[in-house]
Structure 1
């Protein structure tokens, strides 16, 4: 199956995996011991395959268009975090729920953001150049955001001894992807390696969400009453992303294709970059990981709407008068 086909049908792949994972976890209660351990290596492979699709060695090129870059960074790291904090204040006072929402909504996507930008007739070149910049910035700012916004005592929840394995699951694949990119530029026959790896993120993420569902079926049942809350917050965030993109693109006087790129950047969140952190939380905080998976599914369905609305209504092509 081609990469394009996988990406077009990825929503149904993930939804099927969640349902199968819940079924396996319900029929085989001991499955959590097995699937919980398998999540980490598969997640590391997923991140490696994803990072190889990002032009990590082209970071300097991303700074050439300062107007677009500054607009995207201001929206993602100044305005969106304020909106997320306000939305979270409207949710029930459950620390695991709020921490999960903060984790998944505070940082912009670095994977399917590019895919949806391409499908939605956005400026894929700028989307690709923006991605490594937002990855570096979010790794630096996410701890600060959580310290400022989380109600829980993070010193007792995000303990260094528990979180450092999760950081390694992100940083080691990132380093390996950078090495792979350098290696792939060495010889002609190596240059197709990143392209071949590009087929793997959707299948690997399908496996990851299935394993998470199977390992946390009890937490899913306990958090079922929170599903409407997560859906409502996720949908509200998607709506805000559209409004914010329209406003900032107008202020910065960006062309339509760059405005579309802003919309997809503000609307998509970095769910499986923060998933290792959510999975590393101590017992009693399993809801945070479930919230991350729930939000990503809502977001994927929201992207189906974005693909229609953004290029046709929000940022239609400008027809020049004859």
Structure 2
């Protein structure tokens, strides 16, 4: 069964997206309940993801200076420039602008690990870098927003949900995963938990996709005329980040798996983690949350393409590219 799930996981993920859309559009009253379920299912997914990588190897991964340097340069120097240029297309609308900036300025630290693993990228190194990426985006997001938006718009943003998301979605699952791995070496029940979570990886990602889409798809439908302005921005971003990620991989002499991971990190954004931040904004900016979720929908389709494309563009032998 596990082999079957892994073989067919991409079609299954698309089915999950479709199921979420059908539920959210046919029974829109369920959106609030699904929204409450986002954090629990995401925590379960990240717990399973963290369990899949031996945490004893994280120290070695963090010592990979070339990989970390490339990751930080791409996400916190190059991406902000790209985002600033693209965001000028919606600079006349505060909600659209803030939504685009919130989601595109924050590198993903959750399901990027799953999708990069499917593309045979160095997902263990991405996992090791996740806390650092999260901390830096928390520190730098206010800086970039202060540079890119009007001061009065910046003042309405509360970073408390961002900090809460970090503790809830990253620190907690990572700590529990580390404890489970420690106990698994000594107690068989803990090892059985690890085996179960490995088997549940694909279903958990499917559940997460279904819950997120079902919670927001009706709002996306309602605000579609406005959202049509941001969809091209998200598509262009996904396209542009492939050559930029490969360029960074070459500059920092990364091997093929590290370069793939760099491409995925640059392209995937922290939409599920910044969603609570968007939902905490004043009523006048309710569209921001929908802008963030729209990026999720575009990106997930893009990840299906990336999983197929990136291994063919960045070959297994270090330094070879098509």
| TM tier relative to shorter chain | 0.7 to 0.9
Closer, same or farther: CA 23–156 of 1 in aligned 2, 3 Å: farther
The whole-number CA distance in structure 2 between the counterparts of 1:145 and 1:211 is 29
Distance 2:9 2:60 in 1: 27
1:28 corresponds to which residue?
none
Q: CA deviation at 1:319?
A: 9.7
Q: Verify: 1:180 aligned to 2:179, yes or no.
A: no
Q: Does 1:212 align with 2:219?
A: no
2:106 pairs with 1:107:
yes
2:204 corresponding residue in structure 1: 200
For residues 211-230 of structure 1, what are the structure 2 equivalents within 5 Å?
Answer: 211-214=215-218, 217=219, 220-221=221-222, 223-230=223-230
Give the corresponding residue for 2:274: 274
Judged with a 3 Å threshold, the aligned counterparts in structure 2 of structure 1 residues 287 and 12 are, in CA distance, closer, same or farther, namely farther
Q: 2:25 maps to which residue? A: 22
* 2:27 partner SS: helix
Residue from 3, 6, 13 that aligns with 1:4: 6
Retained in 1: the 8 A contact 2:134–2:166? Answer: no
Counterpart in 1 of 2:32?
36
What residue number does 2:77 align with?
Answer: 78
CA contact (8 A) 1:44 1:170 kept: no
Could you tell me how far apart the structure 1 residues matched to 2:174 and 2:286 are?
A: 32
Q: Which residue does the alignment assign to 2:43? A: 48
Please list the CA deviations of residues 124-157 of structure 1 after superposition, one character each: whole Å capped at 9, or x if unmatched: 3323323333223223322332232233624552
Contact 1:167 1:277 in 2 (8 A): no
Task: State whether residues 145 and 154 of structure 2, in contact with CA within 8 Å, keep that contact through their aligned partners in structure 1.
Answer: no
- Whether the aligned pair in 1 keeps the contact of 2:58 and 2:125 (CA below 8 Å) is no
* TM superposition shift of 1:282: 1.4
**Per the alignment, do residues 117 and 176 of structure 1 end up closer, same or farther by CA in structure 2, a change over 3 Å counting?**
closer
* Alignment RMSD: 2.8
**Per the alignment, in what secondary structure is the counterpart of residue 93 of structure 1?**
coil
**Matched positions, count:** 304
Q: Does the CA contact (< 8 Å) of 1:17 and 1:210 recur in 2?
A: yes
CA distance in 2, matches of 1:309, 1:62: 25
Could you tell me which runs of 5 or more consecutive residues in structure 1 were left unpaired when the two chains were aligned. Answer: 26-30
Q: Do the aligned partners of 1:122 and 1:260 also contact (CA within 8 Å) in 2?
A: yes
User: Given the alignment of the two structures, is residue 118 of structure 1 paired with residue 117 of structure 2, yes or no?
Assistant: yes
Structure 2, unaligned runs of 5 or more: none
Task: Kindly indicate whether the alpha-carbon contact (under 8 Å) linking 1:43 and 1:205 is maintained by their aligned counterparts in 2.
Answer: no
